[in-house]
A and B are shown apart, each in its own frame.
Chain A
């Protein structure tokens, strides 16, 4: 057992003792009941379990939770799919996912949402050329598996959020 403290969607959890072998995915789903973060493969292949890790330097990245121990998240601040909308108001990205019919069964959606949100925030810090956009979106989302949609609408949704506010994301 190891002590774990972390912040999830702005709320502090811990310190609490957790088993060293407990995955972060099981910690979220079985211990906290935060089942918006999905379990798909347990092998870091589908990334439906990915959450956002916010680093102290203001940057963020996604992290799979199914192959990583909960205790590796000690001291970290993370965001999950449950934390995007504020007071019931969807983010631009969430709205775009809905309006593009980006998902079907929706089981991969949390992972795509987190990955695309991190991409948007990265582009805000490091703007890119319009001509590179499709490739950058493709690279960012390629780790995520979706069995229903064929990915087209996810990509279109992310691209349209960026193109709707070019000054924010594009050089």
Chain B
């Protein structure tokens, strides 16, 4: 259990390169992994007693922790000196790229090595499918997008690198020739989601994606836009069938009967930057002697990053193909989605392979991060909503979404789907037809960012709902309550949520809150020159991505000390502390050695995978499952609010096994209870309190005593597990010493006493059906927000006077972190609504000239620091597990602010952001 020891990793990446082999210098006192194991066995553990985070002390003392903190000299066994890479990007995507003007650099700013498209061709690298597109724009072509890399310059010394960085920033050293206009490319995906409910809530749907499958149109027009008309496709009549229902819904909205009120509105959202505070960076060294590429990275998707690098180099020619890749993953300085599946690790790997033997650091400055980092999609939406005047029930909904995906596909297809299937928010609507298309553009690549898709579509929805409630007229909260989906009701894809739907509670609390109750009084008492308005919004957000993996190990020493390893990434979300707290529920103590972002310490599970878990057929899955080592996916990104629900799942299950088959038998032994004693079966009745195991009528037992006995007895003192969820967990049975055990995991290894981990065969396994891929979302959590604004009529200056957010997240593993996420989500929502904006093309971040200052995010003075109330609802039942919440808390802030602005000014803005200048303009 030495924290520096790394288990041998046996999986083989694309191209036959072994991934994650343990590296040299295992016993160095400040090895990377030792630094990243928190809080460490010495010193204060803030998480014990709920006094703080596992990483609290490290972060408040400036420990080396983030990828950007590491240089070669910090890595035991590496050469001392660090070389530096400069990724040069195109500030133009409408002219032929003709080259970079290295001759214009001073002699002391010249690179030692230049890597361009030509060098990659010579080396024989490949581009992983997810990043399809040239890694470097070849000379003589028009860049595919603004900010596309054109060259990677490598410098042995820092000073030359620094001079060159400034020269490329401040001068036009990337040269262009003839104007070509932007590169045209097909859209990244188009879908149509249509649902027609049966006559009663109990009746089966007449048409629903869960029954019929997801459909895409088969044709595009000359401009590349999908043709949504009813046309069969080469794949069959499925599209025509769904589209026929969709067109009927639209016909009804176009020509409504007099009893129906229909509103149609356009709404646009802007491109924004995740603006995590630590710019992307990486450190890599190709050790030619061992033919090993060593990397230190900071991403939300470690497994994917290692796998992508292996694919990149898998069929490269010598000397550009390593035999081994050892990628290590650090704490990250914020992510918000923007570090999930980023191409940055590919360039970091190239830097090392083209300067062999020298550790190379590749790090964005902020200009470069704006120029090259993943952005949030800008959406253009047109929405129609039809409400039966008499009942106030929404009868039909139709929407068309167009997303600007920027230069590479990245997550665009997923964002389009998530936005579309989230477009009706919390509502139960019997007729829905939504089309969506993600387009290529020459803008900077858009991808994952907090609340992706739904932030855009639910904002459009919640301002429209507000408007139509006023038009009916009907109280906005009463209207929402009238139309809210109930537990067991069907979502747009035709499946119900697996969770309890808590809209009634949330709406009740919003309605009763003083910010809402006193809105009329506040408006009436507005001082001269100030306009006061109050807005409400309520949303639901899926957590999980429909193919979520969890890896976790829990070990307990003979002294009762606990160590946890997990593949989830710490990006501020408190996953390390959540792991410690959830594991403690089972084993009675807070871990003092937690490592996160570990993908290569689970070798004993001997996992294999194949196929794409999103598109696999049932027959393929059944066939694959015959291999007892097969799982639908090995490790997934820390994203989609899965930290609490998924990120802790495997460790929690492992902890339960350590308790049941290690600590519980040891406790029985200490209590003198034999196997025939009926009390031997009361392991679920016993509970932990203050580090002691308590069973009624018996002496409490201290954890260290139990752990020591478990070791002495050769019981289970460590468990390593893998879990997979496709809107439902895989479930398997294992033969443990002491009996069969069924749990929501699909792979397990255990350690007995001080032995090594041994894989256990699963005797039965149920993977979630392949059809579950037709679900839009089955896990969802809800949040409602109230905001009161004060707007100065003369200047348009807006002040948020008071705000309230109420939400549910099941069991809050670390309540203080949950609260902090909600406060942070509020701040980011304020930025999205009032401050943040990136122009799409030449004036936007792709030109390399953007930084904070031009781009404003919320400061303390933009927020109601002393008038922001957050309420976390208790779990729906004592057995409700942890649910994701870090995305949903941001979303209602945006429409609530817009609704408050409308209440104050009478003006409904239909595009984001709403700046002070726009408010001033609207008030004149």
Residues of A within 8 A of B (CB): 19, 21-22, 26, 30, 33-43, 45-46, 48, 80-82, 84-85, 88, 90, 94, 97-101, 103-110, 113, 134, 138, 141-153, 155
Query: What are 22 of the A-B contact pairs (CB < 8 Å)?
Result: A19-B159, A21-B163, A33-B71, A38-B68, A41-B853, A45-B851, A46-B852, A85-B61, A97-B56, A101-B574, A103-B60, A105-B278, A108-B277, A109-B59, A145-B857, A145-B859, A147-B336, A147-B827, A148-B334, A151-B823, A152-B820, A153-B820
Further 12 A-B residue pairs, CB within 8 A, beyond A107-B333, A134-B866? A30-B82, A40-B277, A45-B852, A85-B61, A94-B60, A98-B57, A99-B46, A104-B817, A105-B571, A146-B277, A152-B863, A153-B823
Name the B residues within 8 Å of A146 (CB-CB): 277, 824
Check if B820 sits within 8 Å of A104, measured CB to CB: yes
Check if A81 sits within 8 Å of B276, measured CB to CB: no
Check if B62 sits within 8 Å of A82, measured CB to CB: yes
Given the known A-B contacts A33-B71, A147-B275, are A99 and B62 also in contact in the complex, defined by CB atoms under 8 Å? no
Given the known A-B contacts A33-B71, A39-B68, A134-B866, are A107 and B277 also in contact in the complex, defined by CB atoms under 8 Å? yes
Check if B820 sits within 8 Å of A90, measured CB to CB: no
Name the A residues within 8 Å of B819 (CB-CB): 101
Q: How far is the CB of A49 from chain B (nearest CB, A)?
A: 11
Q: Nearest B residue to A140 by beta-carbon distance?
A: B860
B816 within 8 A of A: yes
Check if B820 sits within 8 Å of A45, measured CB to CB: no
Name the B residues within 8 Å of A100 (CB-CB): 816
Check if B860 sits within 8 Å of A141, measured CB to CB: yes
Give 1 or 0 for each of B53-79: 1 = CB within 8 Å of chain A CB.
101111111111110111101100000
Name the B residues within 8 Å of A26 (CB-CB): 158, 162
Given the known A-B contacts A98-B53, A109-B60, are A41 and B824 also in contact in the complex, defined by CB atoms under 8 Å? no
Check if B852 sits within 8 Å of A36, measured CB to CB: no
Check if A33 sits within 8 Å of B73, measured CB to CB: yes
B304 within 8 A of A: no
A88, B44: Cα distance in complex, Å: 10
A145, B855: Cα distance in complex, Å: 12
Check if A104 sits within 8 Å of B572, measured CB to CB: yes
Check if A147 sits within 8 Å of B277, measured CB to CB: yes
Name the B residues within 8 Å of A46 (CB-CB): 277, 852
Q: Main secondary structure on chain A at its contact with chain B?
A: loop
Check if A82 sits within 8 Å of B61, measured CB to CB: yes
B290 within 8 A of A: no
Q: For window 154-200 of chain B, which residues contact chain A by CB distance below 8 Å?
A: 158-159, 162-163, 166
Q: How far is the CB of B647 from chain A (nearest CB, A)?
A: 15
Check if B69 sits within 8 Å of A107, measured CB to CB: no
A41, B279: Cα distance in complex, Å: 8
Give 1 or 0 for each of B472-486: 1 = CB within 8 Å of chain A CB.
000000000000000
A161, B53: Cα distance in complex, Å: 19
Name the B residues within 8 Å of A39 (CB-CB): 68, 279, 365
**Other-chain contact of A81, B62, B365, B859, B868 (Cβ < 8 Å):** B62
Check if B278 sits within 8 Å of A107, measured CB to CB: yes
Q: For window 769-817 of chain B, which residues contact chain A by CB distance below 8 Å?
A: 814, 816-817
Given the known A-B contacts A104-B574, A104-B817, A106-B59, are A48 and B162 also in contact in the complex, defined by CB atoms under 8 Å? no
B137 within 8 A of A: no
Given the known A-B contacts A36-B62, A105-B276, are A147 and B53 also in contact in the complex, defined by CB atoms under 8 Å? no
Given the known A-B contacts A26-B158, A98-B46, are A41 and B61 also in contact in the complex, defined by CB atoms under 8 Å? no
Q: How far is the CB of A44 from chain B (nearest CB, A)?
A: 8
B826 within 8 A of A: yes
Between B43, B62, B817, the greatest number of chain A beta carbons within 10 A of the residue's beta carbon is seen for: B62
Q: Nearest B residue to A19 by beta-carbon distance?
A: B159
Name the A residues within 8 Å of B59 (CB-CB): 103, 106, 109
Q: How far is the CB of B449 from chain A (nearest CB, A)?
A: 12
Given the known A-B contacts A147-B824, A150-B826, are A90 and B52 also in contact in the complex, defined by CB atoms under 8 Å? no
Check if B865 sits within 8 Å of A152, measured CB to CB: yes
Q: Nearest B residue to A111 by beta-carbon distance?
A: B277
B861 within 8 A of A: yes
Check if A22 sits within 8 Å of B162, measured CB to CB: yes
Check if B868 sits within 8 Å of A152, measured CB to CB: yes
Check if A94 sits within 8 Å of B61, measured CB to CB: yes
B2 within 8 A of A: no
B821 within 8 A of A: yes
**Other-chain contact of B52, A30, A82, A101, A109 (Cβ < 8 Å):** A101
B573 within 8 A of A: yes
Name the B residues within 8 Å of A101 (CB-CB): 52-53, 56, 574, 814, 816-817, 819-820
Between B57, B572, B817, B821, the greatest number of chain A beta carbons within 10 A of the residue's beta carbon is seen for: B572
A100, B59: Cα distance in complex, Å: 13
A30, B83: Cα distance in complex, Å: 11
Name the B residues within 8 Å of A148 (CB-CB): 334, 572, 820, 824
A34, B61: Cα distance in complex, Å: 12
